[in-house]
Structures are given as structure tokens and as C-alpha cells.
Chains A and B, each alone.
Chain A
Amino acid sequence: MYRPTEILIERGEEDAPVVQRALIKLPELPVRIVEKDWEQKEAWSAGKDPFGAGKRRLFFTRQRARFLEHCPAGTPGLVCCNYLIVSLISNCPMDCSYCFLQEYLANNPALKVFTNSDDLLDEIAQVVDRQPWRQFRIGTGELSDSLALDALVGFSADLVPFFAARKNVLLELKTKSDCIDNLLTLESHGRVVVSWSLTPPAIADTEEYGTASFAKRLRAARRVQQAGYKIGFHFDPLIEYPNWEADYQQTLEQVFTTVDPRGVAWVSFGSLRLTPSLRKVIRQRFPQTPLLSGEQVLCDDGKWRTFQALRVKMYRSLISQLNSLAPTIPVYMCMETAPVWQKVFGRAPGCDKDVARSLTKPNLSHGSPPQ
């Protein structure tokens, strides 16, 4: 389990339920009460790895901005899937070498847990309940792993019943952990998809620090599926390295011999994409990584990706394998251009809503009604 070195609590938030839950789980850690603008005032230590150090400082604070946002993957020129994100946690206890948070949250001195989850639920209810004709997909795995801290903060107990009671929205909990115990006692009514980001063990073991092993993630997926949840898989980032094809094919095979494909809500693929400044950070923090050695080129959206012909080959190879293992599962690509969709699927979606509908419709129409 994640063990921070220190707990910081914004003054006035000491009695928040999430704070109390965490203090019970980590009774021996030093606790500091700080003012709400602590982050701005915190002088940066000139340590060698301030981003890594920030991960080990757990800060409970109120979210004062809006929780609900559109996924940043909706970039002009790329096919979007109309995904919404909410963040109850900002920063991640895990430390994947390719993670965009190294750039996006570079100056954050802590791992933040927001104490006002009730505000988040109110905000979602306002949007979702007022548009009952619309179908939504909302995920919590953008700025952190959705479940890695769940044993500590227990957010799943707030989120799962809330979404289980709504017919027009799917919650996605995206993780690289095996922290699923809290989920097993909750009823999701088919409205919660627990999904795993997967890479072959050769990558998971060397590039995804602090995550559960591939085997553990897969075991957790099976247990969650057996408990009645829909599950999903994200092969994102898809990484090109000398043995990628055999390794990914073996990974896919292992997945679909372990879980029941009928209970899989979706599978996505997304090529490794790195901004120039993220490449710099990776060079500094993970100088030995071979990730930057793939045949990546700078694309129109300012990110480096494996050059198009090669990544199309990768998508085609894996999607063809997936289709042979589990032909009916909805599949999509993340942050890809219409020409790449055209080459891989033989068609590009007419609009964002087409992709969104292909993912929500099969999953919401089969959900059992709330009791």
C-alpha cells in the first residue's frame, strides 16, 4: 500500500470523512495543519527529484474549481470520444516513466486528495440528471490512478452507489493497481466500468514503478468481473520496442483467457505520445529508459508519436488479434487522427458523438435497473 512520508491537512478540513479514514489507516505518520494557500507558499526544495518527492507528501484540501471537465484528448484534428473527467485526487502514487503528470503537475509539491466529494457528486448530478436523454461516460483516472489509494481514502463507497442509481451515465474507474477490495461489496448495477491500463510484462515491470504486476492486474480484473462489474482494458500507451508484436499478442491472449469477453465494456488502444518537454523530463528522471528510442516523430498536435505507418501497423495487428479473440467488444483509439482511423478501421467516425455512442449504448442499454 502507498505510504506517504507526511500528511498535510488544510485548516478547517480536519474532520472531513476522507481525512478521518486516512488518519485511521496511517496513525503513525507526522501530520501538519496548513493554510489553504500552502502550495503556493511552499518553497521548493532544490532536491534532485521534486516531482517524485511531491508524490510522497499527502495533502488533504478542498477543490475550489469545478470538478467536471472535458477530457483533454479532445484536441482539434484528433477523433474525440466525448469523455468527461473528474478528479478527486490530483497526482498519482505510481510513477510510470512515460506519465504526462511529470510535465502537467511538474510544480505540484504534493499528492492532493480533495475533501469535498459531496460537491463533486452534486456537480455531476446537476449535469447528468438534467439531461436524462443524454448518455455520459465519466472517468476519475485522468490525474491519478482511480483505485490505487482506495484502501486509504475509500472514494469508491461514495462513487459507486451514486452512479449505480443513474440510468444515463457510466463511471469508469481506471487503474494499474489491484486495489479492488472495497468494490467487491458494492452493487454497480452495470453502471460502473473498472478498467485496467495494460502493457506487456516486459514494459510493466521496467517502466511502471509502483504499479501492480500484469498478473495481479489480471487477477483483480477477473475478481471484479465476477463481482458483477463491467470491465475494460486500455492498451495505452502502446509502446513500440523490438519484441512488441509477440509480447502484445501474448498479453491480449492472456487477458481473454482470463476474463469473460462478454463482460468487457470496451478496449482502447493509444500510441505513446510525448510532448517535447515531457521527453526532456523523462530523460532526466529515467535516463536509462528505452522508451524514447522508438521511431517517434513530431506530429501536428505537438506530440511525438511512433511514425504513422508503423503505428497503423501496430493498431492493425492488435485489433485483428482482438477481433479473433473477442469480436463483439467495442474498440476505439485514443488521440488519433481521422486518417489513422480510416486506415485501421476502414472508416473514420462522422463526429465525436458516433464514437461516444458506440461505447455508451451497448453498455447502458444492458445495465440492470437500480433497485
Chain B
Amino acid sequence: MFPLQQQPHMEDSADPLVTVQEMQFWLDKAVAWGQAQTVETQRDTCQHLSRLRDFTQQLLKHINSMASTTETMKRLPLIGQFLGRLCWIPSVTADASSRSLLLQCLWGLFSEHPGSAVERKANQWIRTVLCQLVTEEDAKVEPLIRQMGVAPKDYHLGVLRKRLALLQQTFEKNCNCLADKNQRCPHDDSLAVSESCIPLVTCQEAAPLINTLLQRPASCISAALSEDFLDALNSAHSRQSLLLEEQGIISLWYHNLPSLEEAVLRLLESVLANNESSPQKLEQLLEQALLPKACAQHCSMFLVVNDIFRSFLKQAERAESVHCLIHTFTRCFLRELALVPHQNSVPLKALFPQSPQSLLMPLLTLPSEMHQEAWRHHLKWLSDSLKRLTEEEEEDDRDGSRSSCLKSHHRVFEAWFLLVQCVHWVQLTAQLLVTSETQDCGPLLWLFTFYYHPTNRGHHRASQLGHAKEALDHLRALFSPLNPPLPVGSLQSVMTLLSPAQQQQQQSLSTLLIINLLVNFAVFSRQSLIGSAEVLQMVVDQSGLLNEAARVLVSLELSLNRGRHLSSDANRVQLRVQKLQHTLTHMNVPEQHC
């Protein structure tokens, strides 16, 4: 490690940005790197590149904070020597960021109006260094390319492309490492080459070689990649300056866990930061995102992504945007998984190892893959199975040991997590709650309430279920086709359930549950469209939950478009959704003008 203490004579300095000791450490490094161009010195340079960039950044700040070049030179007399040496270390000048910082430092030392001999000399030196950097050529090559009429720029580009192509061909070769460990493997150099590619991660020409390095054969035991190289790729990727193709990015995530984690966190952050973004936008975002495809190719990546989702969900179980992200992601993932060739496919059990296995297939099945007549029975079965799990949890809470309590909590959470991933069944439940007879609604309502209240915190499940029943009954009355004029009592009761005072109580029912039911009633009930729109408008207007209702309606429309709704009155439903959307949008207009 380089010394961080300041030298005694620097202690009085008001500017501790760069110390003389740091400068000496990096100067010594630059001297060593400049002595010989070997694989070893190059490795050391590449491994230090990231820290060197930080130091050069500090140096630049230091230069910019000084009043003049004379003052900078006085404070850091070694600065010129250091920058001059860096200019001749190819691993430094090949790296776009390092090169840019180095040039900025040189510009920083250039005095537009030199006030002293030192500054005039510095200006002259900077011009000379820059000129040499661009125009100086190897004496063994220069006369030849001059005579042949080749511009050095074209010559170097040609040689670079050739070298890159040769290395790429080497790493594309198949090997027989596993079978014969004594045989020389063409990928033996992959560690050294990947280290040398650290400064080239943003170089357009090097992108095909980097892609090939990342996609080394899994069967090869020799093909190791440098961690620094993977970190450099990840950092370039997060700056959006990486020029890799899709498969290269997927391989980067596969080889480098932090880069995968960062990609998932970026996705989550973008969704959470933009809480208002519509489900369509999220769907578009994930359709274009590479993550579902990557997860379909590599089971281990899916497990990591799910772990991150799991921990987010534990912290914010009610965050609708996270739910939406998880279920859209899972849907995109399953679609990509179906495209993976059969011989490469992984059993579902391995992809969802923590989920209750009995629920796995029933939940992952899409409603469209089943007869409509079977939906109700299927949902009842799901509801009963989940209920059994929660009952076991309650029993363990009462009588069980700490470990059995934890186990049953875990089982219930995993079942609920799977339900969030397969939210299409919850959406269908809401629809069936509207169209079913009251006496058949028990299991459906239990399932629907469980989705919104997975934990039995404070043992309020029974009262929450009671409130849900109450909400269902009042909504049924509000949307009854036989019941004009509007039952004011039911409207009042629904508003009370949605009221802030009610919501502050511990056993309160999720507003989203009520709004979801409300929207489903508006769409699927036999009430006239005008009557439905009127009720929807009244509740939304009085509760101020316009955005929430609009989101539910959009989600509903999306799932209808995906073909879940196969009933004979598809057109009627479609029309109602559009009209109701119009109603909600229309409500939005005056608000915006207020």
C-alpha cells in the first residue's frame, strides 16, 4: 500500500489533495513500468489502473486548484516527470479514461499567458510530448511505411486488428483440457490476455476479442479470467460505455457476481424511483432488458436475481411496483426459458428450490393453459393449500420450537413469493369474486386477502378477512344490476374502509385490495357501463386513489390482451375496460388544470 501520511513540510499546506509521498509512490511505479514492456510489468500496470485513475483525478483537482503552473510545480516538483513518464506507458495511454485524465492534467499545466520562464518551458514541453506521442514511430518500421505510402494511423489500426483477430481465433479454438491435462490448451493465456485487455474494455476494436474471452468454453479448466478485467468491464458497463454484444454481457454477469447484482439493483432502483410508471412501461423495459434471457440461460443467475427480489420483498411487502416488477420479470423469464433448447433446460425444481414443490406447477401454469371450467376448482385448491400452510404456521407459533416457527414462516413466505411471481392467479381470483355466487366466494376471498396480507402480524388475519368480506358484499351491492338507485349505505361503508382513519388501524384492510376489487367489479359485473363508471368515479374521486385504480385497470387490460380472458363476452369486457379508462383519464384532466 502506498503511504497516506503527509510529509512534515506539507502539513501546513492548505491543500492535502495530493501528497508528495503519493506522488513518489506513483512515480516509482511509472519508472518501473517504463523500464520494460513485458507481460509482468503490464500485469502490474493493469492491476493498478483503477487506483492510478483515482490518483490522476486527484492530481487534476490539485492542478486546477492552483493559481498557476509555477505554483503547481513548486508544490509538486515531480509532477512533470510523473506525467511525462505516464505518457509512455502503453497500458495507461491505451485506457480511454486514463488517457483523458492524463491529457487534462497536461492541459492544466499549460499556461495560456506564460508569466515566467518555467511556464514557457512547461508549455514547450507539453507541445513536444503531445507531438511525439502522436507522430513518433518505430525506426524499424517508419521508413518502410513511408516508402509504401501507408499512413501510420492506418498501419497501426491494421496491426491492432490483426493482433486482436489472432488472439480471438486462439480463444475460439476448442480444447481437450478435461480429458488430457498434459496437453497444452489454447486458452492457457486467457488470464494474461484478459489482464492486458483491462485498458481496452472500451476500445471498439477489442470488443469481439472481449466477447470471445467472456464466452470461454465451460469445459475448459485453463480458461481463467482476471477479476480486475471483469471489474473493469462491469465499471464500463455501468457507465454505459461498453460495446459488447448481448451474449458478452450475459457472460459478464455469469462470471462476475457484483456486475449481476448491480444490474438487478439498477433495475429495481429505476422501478422504485419511477413509482408512477405504468405497467406497460415496465413491461417494455423488461422486454428489452437482457436479464430474463440471461437467467433463462444460467440457472445460477436466476437464483441470484430471485434472492435479491426476495430480500426487497421482505423489506417492502406492500410495494406494488416491486410486485409488478417481480411478476413481469418472472413472466419474461418463463417465456425466455421456453426458448432454451430442451437439452440445455433445467428442471423447474432447480430454478425454484425454495418454493413449496406442491404449489410450483399449479402456480406456474397459466390460466390460458387450462379450461375455464377448471379455474374455480384450481383456485380453490390453491387457496386451501396456502391456507393449510398458514394454519401450520399459526400452530407452530403457538406450540412449536423457535426453529420450527422459523421454518414454517419461511414456508409461508416462499409460497407467497411464488404467488407474487405468478400474480395472474390473483388477478383471476378478483375476476371470479365478481362473477361468482356469494356462497362460493370463501376460498377465493381467502386467497385474495392472503396475497395482500401474507403475514399474520398481530394475528389480524381473521379480522382482515372479515373486512374483505364486508368490502366484497358492499361492492356487490353497489354494482348490482338490480339495485338502482345507488345504495348510499354501501358506498359509505366502502369509503369508511378506505378512509385514512381506518387505514391507520392495525387490522385495516389494504386499500389496494379494495381498489382491485372495485375495478374488477366495474369491469366484470352485470351492472350497466354507465352505472359502473359512475360508481368507480365516485369511489375514486372521494378516496383520491385515482392512480391506484388506473394502474389496476391497465394491468387488467394487459392480462386480457395476453389472452387470459377467453370468455365469450371478451368484446364486451374489452369495451368496458376502454370506457372505464376513458372515465378515469377524464377525471384526471380537470385535476391537472386545477
Check if A and B associate: no
Binding site for B on A (CB under 8 A): none
Binding site for A on B (CB under 8 A): none
